[in-house]
Amino acid sequence: MRAPQVIFGIHTVLSALRNDPGNVEELRVDRARHDARVNELRQLAQTFNIPLREVDGQILERQTQTLRHQGVCASYRAAPTLTESDLYDLVERAECPLLLVLDCVTDPHNLGACLRTAEAAGATAVITPRDRTGAINATVRKVASGAAERLAVAQVTNLARCLEDLKQRGVWLIGAVGDAAQSLFEIDMIRPVALLMGAEDKGLRRLTRERCDYLAHIPMTSAAHSLNVSVAAGVCLFEARRQRLAHTDTGGSQVAGNS
């Protein structure tokens, strides 16, 4: 059985209560907080028969190990990430899948921001290598603002093999690299695509890079050397979304990131 996590922050706990209440084991609230947002959490806990404890703020600080708990935390038994089989089923069901692949992104703030951006752009799923990516912990969930509970996330054992399997299923792989000759804006993304982002310090690994159908850079001014990985992911994802919406508006067939 999965061990519960301590999650904290109003948006994070609210998302868990709304989207996955069966896995929220207990809600703890600062007894001094009685504003509308915290009271909504109390009401949801009562609705779903989730144990509610009113505690002092210092207890929340000790349990969350942060001052940024916003007066609330919860014991949450998170749902497992997708298996590779689940991922392939999801890709095959989607009309035109849009995937984000994070190769060795370990910083929890970057990982959480990528999840939030991927959900906003309508991505079908986010894919990470199991042993080279940060865990989806409380910090990731807080930064993701609920996306970690709503978005499909697959952690795969062998990323290179997974990418080959995606290609066999008709997904085109586009790697974001700073030294690519081709601009991101020159690539057709009105088809099933996976956008591959590497770690900020090293970029895409060699085996990952070699499996890409296209390598592309994000045009920037000469003074800018690179972008934060979550910002770069946002540029790539929303360029795909822009192309797909423009294609639909001009009479093309409907495409969608989500199944």
The pLDDT of residue 259: 37
pTM: 0.84
Residues 158-210: tens digit of each pLDDT? 999 999 999 999 999 999 998 899 999 999 999 999 999 998 778 899 999 99
Residues 90-119: tens digit of each pLDDT? 999 999 999 999 998 989 999 999 999 999
Residues 229-249: tens digit of each pLDDT? 999 999 999 999 999 999 887
| Band of pLDDT at residue 135, cut at 50, 70 and 90 | confident
Q: How far is CA 123 from the centre of its chain?
A: 9
203 CB neighbour count, 10 Å cutoff? 20
CATH code 3.30.1330.30 for 5-76: yes
Domains 5-76 and 84-249 agree in fold: no
Domain boundaries, the chain: 5-76, 84-249
Which string of b and e fits 77-115 if b means at least 16 CB within 10 Å?
ebeebbebeebbebbeebebbbbbbbbbbebbebbbbbb
Choosing among 3.30.460.10, 2.60.40.10, 3.40.1280.10, 3.30.565.10, the CATH entry for 84-249 is 3.40.1280.10
Measured CA angle at 138 (ends 136, 144), to 5 deg: 70
Q: What is the mean pLDDT of the chain?
A: 90
